């Protein structure tokens, strides 16, 4: 009895779990003030045309430069921010920063085709905030054309989007902002339903490319599925981006399948804003020089 009791109590006060819980609480309660203190920063990862190896846009990815815990990746705090609602303020900051940055690059390279910026939007931003007014205000204030802004939502965010969220997506799309479905293929969405929504881009989840035939994965099923998905998406008027393109072989297969753009370590890791123009000034990103960034 004593032993079992002791063990149960030990589990209850497991110091590691306790420390983990306290860290989560500390992060959760400081998210909002951290937005005001300017502790967040964005990195940008190019979205590259598979045909010509040119960057067409960049995805903005948030990081938290935490004074105590160092630089934290989004999977450490986005979920917490969604739970406690801080995602609304954080998300607004990300949108504002991204649009300012995209406009600054455009002004700095007036003779080049401008890059679009693709911003991740959490479901709560569509439900709990006035996303449409925020986006309109930010575009107005930064001078960025709506066509140069793309919003990435997950399947689950749009699948049940009747009523208000659907109206928001429609209004954004009417404004000229592109809507992309992020991590496509990981949820339950069906293309027939998606095609009736104001969505214009599918971002195929990284698991598809990871499943391409290789010495370790002799089964070509994922390649067949991607080919069918790309064909169907194109016929429905959607463009397709592949995530997690890590090697030249994957890029070549995607290109042959007809996928439009790719994103991944083959082309570049996510970069700080000032490194993006350096990358753009370089040769096309065919990946022949190997991994960059
Ligand atoms: P995501 O939107 O699917 O972003 C792509 C993630 O894949 C990024 O991770 C990126 O660094 C990583 N990645 C890119 N290329 C490769 C590759 O070739 N191989 C592999 N293995 N990974 C690659 P990151 O930056 O850690 O972001 C993780 C997730 O956090 C994002 O997934 C997105 O869902 C979320 N997130 C990031 N920034 C924001 C934001 O501003 N707002 C919201 N709501 N969510 C964000
Ligand atoms: Mg994304
Ligand atoms: Mg994604
Ligand atoms: Mg993903």
Q: Is the pLDDT of residue 177 over 60?
A: yes
Q: Using the mean position of ligand 4's atoms as its centre, give its distance from the Cα of residue 273 in Å.
A: 21
Whose C-alpha lies nearest to ligand 1, atom 27?
A: 74
Model confidence pLDDT, tens digit, residues 234-255:
999 999 999 999 999 999 999 9
The fraction of the chain above a pLDDT of 70, given in percent, is: 89
Mean pLDDT across 167-177: 95
Model confidence pLDDT, tens digit, residues 27-62:
999 999 999 999 999 999 999 999 999 999 999 999
62 lines ligand 1 (CB under 6 A): yes
Q: What is the pTM assigned to this prediction? A: 0.92
Q: Is the pLDDT of residue 119 over 60?
A: yes
- For a mutational test of ligand 1's pocket, the pick from 73, 74, 91, 99, i.e. the residue with the most ligand atoms closer than 8 A to its C-beta, is 74
* Residue 222 phi, psi (nearest 5): -65, -35
79 lines ligand 1 (CB under 6 A): no
d(CA 49, CA 57): 9
Model confidence at 188, in pLDDT bands (50, 70, 90)?
A: low
Q: Is the pLDDT of residue 159 over 80?
A: no
**Whether 154 contacts 122, CB under 8 Å:** no
Model confidence pLDDT, tens digit, residues 65-95:
999 999 999 999 999 999 999 999 999 999 9
- Number of residues assigned to the chain: 293
Per the prediction, the chain carries an average pLDDT of 89
d(CA 220, CA 226): 10
d(CA 152, CA 67): 29
Beta-strand pair 40-49/116-120: unpaired
**Whether 254 contacts 245, CB under 8 Å:** yes
**Whether 161 contacts 126, CB under 8 Å:** yes
Q: Is the pLDDT of residue 174 over 90?
A: yes
**166-182 CB burial, b ≥16 within 10 A, e <16:** bebbebbbeeebbbbbb
> Which stretch of 124-128, 204-208, 231-235 has the lowest confidence by average pLDDT?
124-128
Report pLDDT for 66.
Answer: 95
Return the number of other C-beta atoms located less than 10 Å from residue 39's C-beta. Answer: 16
Residues near 235 by Cβ (< 8 Å), separated by ≥ 6? none
Model confidence at 216, in pLDDT bands (50, 70, 90)?
A: low
Model confidence pLDDT, tens digit, residues 2-23:
455 555 555 667 778 888 888 8
Report pLDDT for 286.
Answer: 73
258 torsion bin: left (phi>0), alpha (psi -120 to 50), beta (else): left
Place of tokens 């450490």: 76
d(CA 101, CA 41): 12
Report pLDDT for 291.
Answer: 46
Q: Using the mean position of ligand 3's atoms as its centre, give its distance from the Cα of residue 203 in Å.
A: 6
Report pLDDT for 290.
Answer: 45
Q: Is the pLDDT of residue 293 over 50?
A: no
Return the number of other C-beta atoms located less than 10 Å from residue 242's C-beta. Answer: 30
Mean pLDDT across 174-190: 88
Report pLDDT for 6.
Answer: 52
**Interface predicted TM-score (ipTM):** 0.98
81's enclosing H/E stretch is helix 78-84
Q: Using the mean position of ligand 1's atoms as its centre, give its distance from the Cα of residue 223 in Å.
A: 23
């Amino acid at each position: 009895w004593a032993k079992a009791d002791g063990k149960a109590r030990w589990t209850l006060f497991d110091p590691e779990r306790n420390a983990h819980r306290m860290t989560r609480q500390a992060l959760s309660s400081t998210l909002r003030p951290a937005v005001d203190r300017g502790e967040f920063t964005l990195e940008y990862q190019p979205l590259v045309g598979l045909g010509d190896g040119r960057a067409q846009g960049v995805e903005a990815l948030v990081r938290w430069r935490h004074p105590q815990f160092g630089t934290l990746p989004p999977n450490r705090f986005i979920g917490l921010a969604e739970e406690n609602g801080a995602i609304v303020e954080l998300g607004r900051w990300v949108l504002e920063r991204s649009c300012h940055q995209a406009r600054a690059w455009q002004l700095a390279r007036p003779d080049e085709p401008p890059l679009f910026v693709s911003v991740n939007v959490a479901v709560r931003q569509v439900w709990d905030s006035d996303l449409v007014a925020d986006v309109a205000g930010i575009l107005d204030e930064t001078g960025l054309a709506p066509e140069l802004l793309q919003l990435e939502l997950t399947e689950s965010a749009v699948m049940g989007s009747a009523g208000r969220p659907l109206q928001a997506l429609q209004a954004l799309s009417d404004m000229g902002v592109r809507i992309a479905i992020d991590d496509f293929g990981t949820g339950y969405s069906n293309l027939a339903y998606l095609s009736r929504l104001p969505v214009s881009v599918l971002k195929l989840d990284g698991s598809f490319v990871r499943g391409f035939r290789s010495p370790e994965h002799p089964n070509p099923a994922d390649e067949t599925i991607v080919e069918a998905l790309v064909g169907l998406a194109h016929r429905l008027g959607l463009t397709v981006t592949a995530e997690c393109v890590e090697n030249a072989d994957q890029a070549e297969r995607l290109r042959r399948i007809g996928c439009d753009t790719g994103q991944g370590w083959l082309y570049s890791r996510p970069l700080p804003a000032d490194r993006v123009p350096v990358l753009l000034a370089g040769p096309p990103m065919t990946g022949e020089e190997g991994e960059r960034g």
